[in-house]
Copies of this chain bind each other. A is one copy, B any other.
Amino acid sequence: MGTTEDLARYIVDSAPERIPDALIHEGKRCLINFLAVAIYSSRDPSLDILLDVFDAEGGSPLASVVGTGVRTTLQNAALANGYLGHLEDYDDTHFPTVIHPSSPVLPAALAVGEHLHAGGRDVLAASVLGMEACCRIGMAVHPYHYDEGWHITGTTGVFGSIIAAAKLSGLDLGQMTHGLGIAGTQAAGVREVFGSMTKPFHPGRSAQSGVLASLLAQRGFTSTTEILEGRRGFAAVMSEDSHLERVNDGLGESWELMMNGLKPYACGVVNHPLIDAMVALKNSAGIDPSEVQSVSARVHPLVLELVDRPNPRVGLEGKFSYQHSMAVGLVDGAAFPAQYSDARVADPVIAGLRDRIQATIDESMAEDASEVTITLRNGQEHSQRIEHATGAPDNPMTDAQLNEKFRALVGDVFPSAEVDLMLSALWDLDQAPDVGGVIALTRLADRIIRE
């Protein structure tokens, strides 16, 4: 049999209870991370554009847009939630391919799961299978595909979202195979749109395409059975070179999802090892910023190339300032979106500390490493070396750090008691008889469509 049908058979045959618990746990972590970012982003005014289009077109209230009171069609909910997941560039990253698998896949699982009152473990299993397939298909066309200009999250996302939606909908082997064809021929999204709202639109649209493909395939709509491997199929057309065996080799045994990293800080990754060092120094030495004489750091050359900005004026500039990122790391012990507000950038304590921070290039330093030394006014020195920044597969965020991220982001939108309720429900999701319970907690009635 062919690559596509082999993959479809594996998906159809995978019983949710047979997905290893470690993967179900990873799926939960992805979902918690996704919801943290998506709910935080739900206050962005650009969401109103999508909601206003939904309102103009109408539709049955079948699934929720997180952080709002809106219930809309399955396709609309998938589109909006996928958009929100990627809007802040703060979602997960499959390191080998730079796919962000959560944003196209989880919205499809949530929309269909909510509508069908699916159990929590079923939703997590469908999500894990969808994200895994998405990353594996990405591996099959990597690196040519992204280098050619494709936004790989948008293109491979359609396969992940159809799988998540179709698995929850109980599609049989033929339907699943054709569904992959319907979804896969909608693979789209070029990198030219980076820097605009259309970038997060890609995973949103991919989530929607997968839901639509599942709805069609379930009703007998036909397509090719060889969308991945066919002579005019996805791999042949959208990559100069491909390794189709990577789609199915070791399926169910080795997991690409374990190479998926969650991002601890709301800024470019080159800042991350420096923030790690400052947070560690705050936690271990309890340094008072007013006692700091100077901070020196040895860094990879990219740091000075990309984020050397001693005097950021607004929050967005703070994200591109290693000085600001390090300062908030020491003062706040965090680098969440709140640390990149205009107010925080203008804060005199932070600004004063920024002036005392200086990085120098160390050619031997890896990109995800750093060494930081703080000299206090009393002459004392504290040093911290970071070998691998938090968030990479070999140094993942802990569950506790993830909780902290969730509380920081969702706490901006919901009262803290509700945030705690959500977190506890999410960690117990595999026991929930109906995913609708936790989805109901993510709704916020006062965010409605503007007329």
**Chain A interface (Cβ < 8 Å from any Cβ of B):** 46, 49-50, 52-53, 56-60, 62, 73-75, 148-151, 154, 178, 181-182, 184-198, 201-202, 205, 212, 215-216, 219-224, 226-227, 230-234, 236-238
Contacts and interface: CB of A to CB of B under 8 A. Distances in A.
A59 B56 contact: no
A281 to B, nearest CB: 40
Contacts of A58: 58-60, 62, 73
9 contacts: A56-B60, A58-B58, A149-B232, A149-B237, A182-B193, A185-B198, A188-B188, A191-B232, A196-B223
Given A149-B232, A223-B196, A216 B53 contact: yes
B221 A46 contact: yes
Contact of A57 (B49, B75, B151): B75
Given A53-B212, A73-B58, A221 B237 contact: no
A391 to B, nearest CB: 26
B232 A190 contact: yes
Contacts of A232: 149, 190-192, 194
Contact of A190 (B60, B149, B191, B237): B237
B185 A189 contact: yes
B190 A234 contact: yes
Contact of A188 (B186, B201, B223, B236): B186
A190 B73 CA distance: 27
A364 to B, nearest CB: 33
Contacts of A74: 57
Given A185-B188, A215-B53, A193 B149 contact: no
A223 B191 CA distance: 11
Given A181-B193, A192-B227, 19 more contacts: A53-B212, A56-B215, A57-B73, A58-B62, A59-B60, A148-B237, A149-B232, A150-B237, A178-B196, A181-B198, A185-B193, A186-B189, A190-B233, A191-B237, A194-B232, A197-B222, A197-B223, A198-B222, A201-B216
Given A59-B58, A150-B237, A227-B193, A53 B219 contact: yes
A196 B216 contact: no
A413 to B, nearest CB: 22
Contacts of A223: 193, 196-198
Given A59-B58, A198-B181, A188 B187 contact: yes
Given A49-B221, A57-B75, A59-B57, A185 B190 contact: yes
A57 B212 CA distance: 10
A59 B226 CA distance: 33
Contacts of A193: 181-182, 185, 223-224, 227
A17 to B, nearest CB: 29
Contacts of A192: 181, 185, 224, 226-227, 230-234, 237
A222 B199 CA distance: 10
A321 B30 CA distance: 57
A77 to B, nearest CB: 10
Nearest first, the 9 closest Cβ-Cβ pairs linking A and B are A58-B60, A149-B232, A149-B237, A192-B230, A191-B232, A198-B223, A188-B188, A192-B233, A57-B73
A198 B50 CA distance: 27
Contacts of A46: 221
